[in-house]
Structure 1
Amino acid sequence: MLMPITDDHLVDEQIQLANATSRPLYLIIIATKPCYIKLASLILALSRNGCAFLAIDVGQHYEKKLVHARHELQYEHLISIFLNVRGDLLGRTAELADRVNWLYLYLKKRQFKGQAIPVVSGDTSTAGMFPALWYFKTRLRSIHVEAGLRSLSPFDRQQMPDNFSEILDLQRTRQSWTMIQDEPFPEAADTRLASVCSQLFFTPVSLNTKNMLREGADMKDIHQVGSLSADALELIMKETVQTSVFDVYPFLREGRWLRVDIHRRENISYQVLSGLFKAIQELCGKGFRIVIVVSNAMNKGIRTLGLEDLWADLQKQEGVKVTPLWTHYQHVIEFMSSPHCQGIYTDSGGLQEETQVLDIPCITCRYSTDRPETILHVQNNILVPPYSASLISSSLEYILEHGQSIFSNHDKLLYSRNVGEKMADILRDYVPLPMLAMQDIFDDSVL
């Protein structure tokens, strides 16, 4: 088991600030690749406006290609604690519980006197479990960034059409959409769990606000601020490109490419991946260019599901290119913003937001989406579920040939701007539920 690493000087500086001002100490919990990207502007804004905070890297994602954004977005020097949590879904949850206890004792040892309030983001397993564990330890409630994400779907799985026109018609009919409680797994549960032990909720759009109200949150505790994705894009596009993605992958300079990026658990199955590979092979046989960015999950799926032969055949197809996961967030945005990007076929939630901000066609490889506003409010996104190879192939072919008549994006400020600043302004004045001090309710000496 790896032990936590701390920058005691930075921690003490922030604890002294919190103690001197009798204000909360915000624990900014960074867990996965999207956290490293999205939380950047909030961390930088808190640093600018004098709020006491500790940026805490949990370690759920730890490989350089997954965490490089903390360097690119210029806040790595503000991370004061690395919890070094590792393991599978259950293993890291158990380890996280141990680290929550360690963090409590560590802050107590460093003479912290007030309320330490976790700030978690999105729908990661860390976001789901950390607020509950901290609440059990201290009775303190957390703050949930990107609260209210709920998956909606226009499809009946038992009566799935196998042609794109019907697939599209179902999505354009608002009345056909219903909430899907367990998609994606486990993220759909994680986002609900994150809110259960939280007191303050930052929602991206009105749909998320309505979800929180329907589930019992008080309107005074909800702040609809937009998505930090919009801030991350603005930050990264200000940075000078050191090495272009087109130098790393020169083939991308030739023509226009559909970028395929798949990593969700429900898509790492024999049926989905084999159908996807067959569809890509068929499309490239008709002259389309497709670059497949191989996630850790897809790579493992190919090995464990017996797809090596199909995968090898696909890579022989002219027009197919395969790359490892792109380490640099800047490379993803540089490519998507270029005329060489024809669109994105992805199961990522964050990319659905980013493509909307950048006004790039997004095609989502899922039966549902937790960003339904990208379809219902604007039409920058289309669901093409991995139902069959023929559906994927025919749908993508039609979209790539007729995209201009399908996509529209009339609300360029759907996810707002300066979101991190708005959150930091709210946190500067936020008053948590009253308590005398951070207190371990299981400590017999206080009972």
Structure 2
Amino acid sequence: MNETTSYFLPGARERLLADERKIVHIVTIATKPDIIKQAPIYQELVRRGELVILCHTGQHHDFRYSGGMEEEFGLTVSVMLAINGSLHQKIAQMIERFGQVLEELKTAGKVAIPYIHGDTSTAMAIGLSSYMHQVACVHVEAGIRTLTLKADVYKRHYADFLAGRFDFASYYADSQIDTNYERGSMEPFPEQFNTRVAEPATGVYAAPVEIDAEFLRQEGFSADRIVVTGNSVADATALAIADSEQSTILEKYPQLANGKFIRFCIHRRENTGNRRRFMIIFEAMAKLIESGHSVLLISLFGTEQAIDNYGLRPRLEQLVKDYPESFIYSDVWPYYRDVIAAMRLAALVATDSGSMQEEMNILGIPCVTLRFGSDRGETFIAGCNVAAPPVDTDWIVAIIEGALATPALAKRPNLYGENVSAKIVDLVLSKLTPGSTAGLFQTEEDRLDWPQPTTAQ
């Protein structure tokens, strides 16, 4: 392949090819959450002395979303795909450019083991690119599927709310009954598509919790390749807690030190791209501020676009002016240690993020999910999280205030384990056959453990 078309950064390709080992672990990163969750796995592979490279697709490239955490976790990127453009253009570029990387490795006699994470567009595109080259991936955070309260459950509690008799305790109790949920949602978009497309390209499924493993088994994937490992966010959170003494975030925002604040985050496409939903959530936040609650709003790219698209900039600026001591409006913080240092003090997190639901369970902070359902449905059933569907501003406020008054949400056990990265690496290494050039890709002879002929037939 022509050197000018290589996506290896200067010197990285030469160092890799000079190494005599055949198996190359390729940890792929792209978005802020998967940098957080892939970093401990990359570090574990390095600690084991494995031949490992880090591939950044460029999906999130801003310092606040990527560079700060690369610095914080000590990550060295070897491959940069440098994608750009609209969503479909970025996906096409990832498929094509990662394919070129795989071809370079194959030509050099290397066996690639890509690690993809969760439900990002990167996980889907890298999985597809890998599969087209008969390369199977390690899917970290495999099997996450959206669970949504059934319509009759939602409508019953909403009717009670409209009639002035909403009982949060009853709603909370119903939220913990697994038979009250159903699958089939297309939200979050496009994440539910991404994770499903990634699964057939996977050779090892690292499921965070048992419910995810069960989803995978029900969908027909090989049971012997599905293992409940926990979620590597537990390792990242532990590292950030240990490192939190270096955080300066409370010096910048001393209002957070008393811990009586609600952290808001609204960034999902289905919320930011839907005027009605976004306005309902925004006004719920405003009502909480105006009624005396302290609020920290972390604004992402999508949040900012929605604020401007829906004419909310003057309203937001007025809230900042009127409530300087109780309303903090901030863009994304680049260092994970700052996020965890502040979130450990929060009274509650109201979010449409998936990863935040996991982190709040680990930290013991009540969570309210600003969506109809969640692909972390285990947090609903465990009782550390409740949904506040974006259908009515006052109902969202009632659910958040009910959650604030319910100590049980903060007293649920950690669902996501510890030392997860070591378990994932152990799992991967146990599935690799010494001397094989197939990596994790299984032929039917391999899958069925078919006896190998002693002579050519």
TM-score if structure 2 supplies the norm length?
0.86
Tell me how far 1:86 sits from its aligned partner.
Answer: 1.7
Q: Distance in 2 between matches of 1:175 and 1:433?
A: 45
**Which one of 285, 289, 292 corresponds to residue 287 of structure 1?**
292
Amino acid of the structure 2 residue aligned with 1:36? I
Q: Which moved more, 1:308-317 or 1:277-286?
A: 308-317
Q: Distance in 1 between matches of 2:193 and 2:303?
A: 22
Q: Where does residue 35 of structure 1 map in the other structure?
A: 34
**Which one of 233, 237, 243 corresponds to residue 237 of structure 2?**
233
Tell me how far 1:183 sits from its aligned partner.
Answer: 1.3
Equivalent pair of 2:244/2:341 in contact (CA under 8 Å) = no
| 1:5-61 per-position Cα deviation (integer Å, ceiling 9, x unaligned) | 5345444444454x44x4x32211111111110111110110111222221111111
Give the CA RMSD over aligned residues.
2.4
Tell me how far 1:303 sits from its aligned partner.
Answer: 1.2
Pairing 1:181–2:176 present: no
Pairing 1:120–2:116 present: yes
Q: Where does residue 69 of structure 1 map in the other structure?
A: 69
Partner of 1:293, secondary structure, is strand
Q: Distance in 2 between matches of 1:54 and 1:296?
A: 29
Q: Where does residue 442 of structure 1 map in the other structure?
A: none
**Residues 1:199 and 1:255: Cα distance change in structure 2 (over 3 Å):** closer
Tell me how far 1:101 sits from its aligned partner.
Answer: 3.3
Equivalent pair of 1:155/1:367 in contact (CA under 8 Å) = no
Tell me how far 1:433 sits from its aligned partner.
Answer: 12
**Residues 1:97 and 1:246: Cα distance change in structure 2 (over 3 Å):** same
Tell me how far 1:97 sits from its aligned partner.
Answer: 2.5
Amino acid of the structure 1 residue aligned with 2:40? S
Q: Where does residue 441 of structure 1 map in the other structure?
A: none
Percentage identity across aligned positions?
A: 27
| 1:109-154 per-position Cα deviation (integer Å, ceiling 9, x unaligned) | xx62132121101000010121112221x22222211100001011
Equivalent pair of 1:4/1:83 in contact (CA under 8 Å) = no
Q: Where does residue 104 of structure 2 map in the other structure?
A: 106
Equivalent pair of 2:124/2:194 in contact (CA under 8 Å) = yes
Equivalent pair of 1:97/1:133 in contact (CA under 8 Å) = yes
**Residues 1:315 and 1:353: Cα distance change in structure 2 (over 3 Å):** same
Tell me how far 1:436 sits from its aligned partner.
Answer: 5.2
Tell me how far 1:4 sits from its aligned partner.
Answer: 6.3
Alignment of 1:388-399 (within 5 A): 388-399=392-403
Q: Where does residue 246 of structure 1 map in the other structure?
A: 250
Q: Where does residue 411 of structure 1 map in the other structure?
A: 413
Q: Distance in 2 between matches of 1:148 and 1:202?
A: 8
Tell me how far 1:217 sits from its aligned partner.
Answer: 1.0
Q: Distance in 1 between matches of 2:179 and 2:435?
A: 43
Segments of 5+ residues of structure 1 without an aligned counterpart are: 439-447
Q: Distance in 1 between matches of 2:314 and 2:116?
A: 42
Q: Where does residue 444 of structure 1 map in the other structure?
A: none
**Residues 1:15 and 1:219: Cα distance change in structure 2 (over 3 Å):** farther
**Residues 1:421 and 1:16: Cα distance change in structure 2 (over 3 Å):** farther
Q: Distance in 2 between matches of 1:355 and 1:240?
A: 16
Q: Where does residue 429 of structure 2 map in the other structure?
A: 428
Q: Distance in 2 between matches of 1:3 and 1:293?
A: 38
Q: Distance in 2 between matches of 1:383 and 1:242?
A: 34
Q: Which moved more, 1:239-248 or 1:225-234?
A: 239-248
Q: Where does residue 80 of structure 2 map in the other structure?
A: 82
Q: Distance in 1 between matches of 2:437 and 2:341?
A: 50
Q: Distance in 1 between matches of 2:139 and 2:247?
A: 35
Tell me how far 1:156 sits from its aligned partner.
Answer: 1.4
Q: Distance in 1 between matches of 2:148 and 2:46?
A: 40
Q: Distance in 2 between matches of 1:409 and 1:254?
A: 20
Tell me how far 1:199 sits from its aligned partner.
Answer: 1.7
Q: Distance in 2 between matches of 1:102 and 1:283?
A: 51
**Residues 1:253 and 1:238: Cα distance change in structure 2 (over 3 Å):** closer
Alignment of 1:44-443 (within 5 A): 44-67=43-66, 68-74=68-74, 76-77=75-76, 79-108=77-106, 112-136=108-132, 138-156=133-151, 159=155, 161-162=157-158, 163=161, 165=167, 167-239=171-243, 241-253=245-257, 256-268=260-272, 269-318=274-323, 319-338=326-345, 341-376=346-381, 378-400=382-404, 402-404=405-407, 406-407=408-409, 409-412=411-414, 414-431=415-432
Q: Distance in 2 between matches of 1:114 and 1:93?
A: 25
Equivalent pair of 1:180/1:368 in contact (CA under 8 Å) = no
Tell me how far 1:295 sits from its aligned partner.
Answer: 1.1
TM-score if structure 1 supplies the norm length?
0.88
**Residues 1:4 and 1:66: Cα distance change in structure 2 (over 3 Å):** farther
Q: Distance in 1 between matches of 2:128 and 2:363?
A: 36
Q: Distance in 1 between matches of 2:195 and 2:87?
A: 15
| 1:321-344 per-position Cα deviation (integer Å, ceiling 9, x unaligned) | 211112221111001123xx1111
Partner of 2:61, secondary structure, is coil
Segments of 5+ residues of structure 2 without an aligned counterpart are: 440-457
Amino acid of the structure 2 residue aligned with 1:422? K
Equivalent pair of 2:370/2:389 in contact (CA under 8 Å) = yes
